[in-house]
């Protein structure tokens, strides 16, 4: 298959498997989504979902969170890992939202990426899932599968994002981001398929015999 043919097949197959992909992080608004995505760095979504109820019971808005001690935030989010950095980021960004954005999560990349703990991937998730802006957030799952499926040769998530945006229609970016993540978790795990076993890998590369080892970006 040519790259465009692989992309078309993958697009159709993922749409058939996950026609209405839910957002895996529990949230109620743009602020709770922002905090949940921040917490998900180097942590599973499932673990984040067990932690955020207590966190948002303590403080569910930027105004409320800005008044919470960093140590109290840290105590709740500790199971998510990197709690010293994440608790400080949540505290400071909440204060910034109050001071600079009238308590609202900004709906543009420039302002989102000014917030502590918010990189391009986190901003992309918030822009797409909270505001419906076409964005293609690339995490390690998506980077891995894009490499295994021959959709990119990018050595970092920035190049992978650029390559995927060229291959898939803009109105598919939001859903296919989630669909690839679900497929990666269920069928093409980092230490299982290696580009040899799952349905999409075998269809795209029926003659592949050697493992496709993908380094973390």
Q: Could you tell me if 31 and 61 are in contact, meaning their C-beta atoms sit under 8 angstroms apart?
A: yes
User: HEC string of the chain?
Assistant: CCHHHHHHHHHHHHHHHCCCCCCCCCCCCHHHHHHHHHHCCCCCHHHHHHHHHHHHHHCCCHHHHHCCCHHHHHHHHHHHCCHHHHHHHHHHHHHHHHHHCCCCCCCCHHHHCCCCCCCHHHHHHHHHHCCCCCCCCCCHHHHHHHHHCCCCCCCCHHHHHHHHHHHCCHHHHHHHHHHHHHHHHHCCCCCCCCCCCCHHHHHHCCCCCCCCCCCCC
Q: Which of 139, 163, 175, 216 is catalytic?
A: 139
Q: Is 3 a catalytic residue?
A: no
Residue 139 is among the residues annotated as catalytic for this protein: yes
Distance in angstroms between the alpha carbons of the first and the last residue of the chain: 26
Given the residues 29, 99, 121, 153, select the one marked as catalytic: 121
Q: Which residues are catalytic?
A: 121, 139
């Amino acid at each position: 298959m040519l790259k465009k043919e692989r992309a078309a097949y993958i697009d159709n197959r993922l749409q058939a498997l996950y026609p209405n992909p839910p957002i895996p992080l529990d949230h109620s608004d743009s602020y709770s989504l922002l905090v949940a995505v921040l917490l998900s760095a180097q942590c599973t979504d499932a673990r984040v979902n067990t932690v955020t109820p207590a966190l948002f019971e303590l403080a569910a808005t930027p105004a409320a969170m800005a008044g919470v001690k960093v140590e109290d935030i840290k105590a709740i989010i500790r199971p998510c890992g990197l709690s010293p950095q994440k608790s400080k980021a949540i505290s400071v960004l909440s204060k910034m939202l109050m001071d600079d954005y009238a308590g609202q999560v900004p709906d543009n990349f420039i302002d989102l990426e000014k917030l502590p703990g918010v990189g391009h991937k986190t901003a992309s998730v918030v822009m797409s899932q909270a505001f419906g802006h076409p964005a293609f957030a690339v995490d390690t799952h998506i980077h891995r599968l894009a490499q295994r499926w021959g959709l990119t040769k990018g050595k970092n998530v920035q190049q992978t994002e650029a390559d995927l945006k060229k291959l898939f229609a803009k109105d598919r970016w939001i859903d296919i981001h989630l669909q690839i993540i679900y497929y990666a978790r269920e069928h093409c795990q980092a230490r299982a398929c290696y580009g040899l076993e799952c349905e999409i890998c075998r269809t795209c590369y029926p003659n592949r015999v050697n493992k496709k080892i993908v380094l973390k970006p």
